[in-house]
Each structure stands twice: as structure tokens, then as C-alpha cells.
A and B are shown apart, each in its own frame.
Chain A
Amino acid sequence: EAQVTQNPRYLITVTGKKLTVTCSQNMNHEYMSWYRQDPGLGLRQIYYSMNVEVTDKGDVPEGYKVSRKEKRNFPLILESPSPNQTSLYFCASLPSWGNSEAFFGQGTRLTVV
């Protein structure tokens, strides 16, 4: 089954404690992206990747890191989480021919206290 898998689904952590949210897709898609969803602000792009070892900042990259060492995986790293990073996070993938449907992971609800 074609899917994008994020883990964990829920996470409560403390300020400053490094964490990683994993994202994996099995559709051989070149493009992957991370979004955060906050009430009234919609889906804002954090980082995106157009291929292995190629990543670019989105609209709200501060406080986040990503890596793309393999085509299927695109982890989101918070080196020193802060309460303003409490949010719902979505990973998405889509094929490189573009102008096509984006497939989303299940979402990760992160709370930083």
C-alpha cells in the first residue's frame, strides 16, 4: 500500500531536549516536505527536499533541521525545542514530475513544555 509514515504520532517533551520526528515513504517520490499546522495559520512549509542530499528552507525553518540521506526518509530534527514549536506536524511526498497530488503522513502532535 502506498503510504507516508510518520513517527511518533504524539510526543510530549521538555524545552531543550533534542528530538527527531521520522518520515518515510514507499512510493519512490523525489519530493518531500515538512509542514506545521497551527490554528488560523494553515499549513506552513518548514523545509523541503527535491532529491537525496538536496534540501531547502521553507517559510518557517527557524529551529528545525532536516536531512535527506536516502530517498525514502526525511527526518525532522528539533535540536533544542521550545514551547512555540508546539504544533501539529505533517510530512508529505510527491513525485518529481510535479503538478501532482501530495501524499501526507498521519501527522505528529508535538507538545513542548
Chain B
Amino acid sequence: GENVEQHPSTLSVQEGDSAVIKCTYSDSASNYFPWYKQELGKRPQLIIDIRSNVGEKKDQRIAVTLNKTAKHFSLHITETQPEDSAVYFCAATGGSGGSYIPTFGRGTSLIVHP
């Protein structure tokens, strides 16, 4: 089955800095890559996603890039703010098994210091 690796596990930045979280996946047939944000005590919620026919997608301060050849994708957050502090999960779906149930990375705890 699919295996998703996510790095780093913890990321500490100063407010206004950029943050980058990287993920790799194992199944070359995977074709949908969502990112979820989980605030403390809350459920994970989708913040951005990218499909395999696109190399980059932006939504205000967040962007995601995908390199299908290398099987890795990244989340970029610019001008970080304290409210960006949360755990971020990457995921991959649509792999060879035919299931669209996402496989998640282990998560990155982002801390933004004011």
C-alpha cells in the first residue's frame, strides 16, 4: 500500500517567516494530495490540495508544489502568523489499490512565535 513520509516533525519559526513542510509518497499511481490543518483540540480540516496534473497551486499565503517524477510534494506558508500554529498533515490518495481513502503522513507541529 501507499506510504507517506513527512518532514520535519516539528518546525519553529518567527512570525513573518516562511515555513516549508515536505512529504514523499511511494505509490506512483497516487494522484491526489491534500493537506490538512489540525488546531489544538480540533479535528483535521482541509486547507489546500493538488492533483497530479498540476505542478503548483496557491491560495493566498499558502501554496503546494508537486513533483511527480520524484514523488514528493511540499506545503509553503509565507508571512506566517501565530494563528498558523497547528499540526499539518499531508496525504496521498488514488493509488494502485483503487481506494480513495487517504494515507496520511505523521504530521508536522508548526509553532509560530510572535
Contacts and interface: CB of A to CB of B under 8 A. Distances in A.
Interface stretch (B13-21, B67-75, B99-107): B99-107
A33 interface: yes
Contacts, number: 63
Interface residues of A, number: 26
Q: What bracket does the count of chain B residues touching chain A fall in?
A: 20 to 34
Nearest to A91: B43
B89 interface: yes
Nearest to A38: B106
17 contacts: A31-B99, A35-B104, A42-B104, A42-B106, A50-B101, A94-B102, A96-B100, A98-B32, A99-B31, A99-B93, A100-B100, A101-B34, A102-B36, A102-B44, A102-B101, A104-B45, A105-B43
